[in-house]
Amino acid sequence: MRAFKGRVVVPGRVAAEVLVSRQGLNTLASFQKALQFGDKKATCGDQNNSDLYGKQMAGKALCLPQTIGSTTGGLVIYCACSMGRQPACMLFSKPIDSLAAAGTVLADVWLDNVKMPVIDSLGDEFLEYVQDGMNVVVQEDGNILVG
């Protein structure tokens, strides 16, 4: 097990299985099909992301550097949360980008009964260490345990 410490964007506690995107997550491309066609697993539809394409994102501890792509990205995260198809948590190695920040804050402020802890600034070493299938425990204070 290894411990990492980041900044709390949305507080919360959760334990989940790791899913890693080594490259920036294109939010619209990744979630659009899942939201459009009722896929509760939120299977990643971004053909340009070989790490995630075809994999279930809902309920996973999504580890990533930042999000990229269309400025509708924040809306898409908000919608995924509203529809219950969001990752268990989002863990950013870099400081969060403005699109993901908007989406995760909007979900936390406007949606009742939806909790998706978000931690950022976990560092490059974090993203190098995590592998698909590992387990992660996220604490309220931004500490996480991975193993």
Partner 1 sequence: MKYKMELTAEQKAILEGSKGETLAKVMESLVRYGELFGATEMVPISSKYNHLVTSFGLKALGPVYELMDKLLEAGAPSGQKFTVDPKPLDKNVPSNIAQDVVFKFFMYSRQKDYEKQLADLGLLSDNAFTCTCYMDEVGNKPGYGEVLSWSESSAVVYANSVLGARCNRNSGIIDLMGSVIGYVPKFGLLTDEGRKADWIVEVKTSKKPEAQLLGSAIGMKVMEDVPFVRGLDKWLGNELDDEACTYLKDFGAATASNGAVGLYHVEGLTPEAVKLGESLIKPDAKTYVIDDAELERVYREYPVIWKDKDAKPKLCFMGCPHMSLQQLKDWTDKVEAGLKKSGAKKVGIPTVFTAAPAVLEEFGRTPYAARLKATGVITSYICPLMYMNNPLSEKMPVITSSNKLRTYTSARYYTDDEILDQITKGGK
Can you give the binding site for partner 1, defined by CB under 8 A?
Answer: 9, 28-29, 32-33, 35-36, 47-48, 68-76, 78-79, 82-83, 96-99, 101-103, 105-106, 108-110
Amino acid at 10: V
Residue with Cβ nearer partner 1 (16 or 101): 101
Would you state the structure tokens that stand for residue 64, as one six-digit string? Answer: 């990533």
CB of 100 to partner 1, least distance (A): 8
CB of 135 to partner 1, least distance (A): 27
Residue with Cβ nearer partner 1 (18 or 79): 79
> What sign has the CA pseudo-torsion 56, 61, 66, 72?
positive
Find where tokens 């950022």 sit.
120
Find where tokens 């896929």 sit.
39
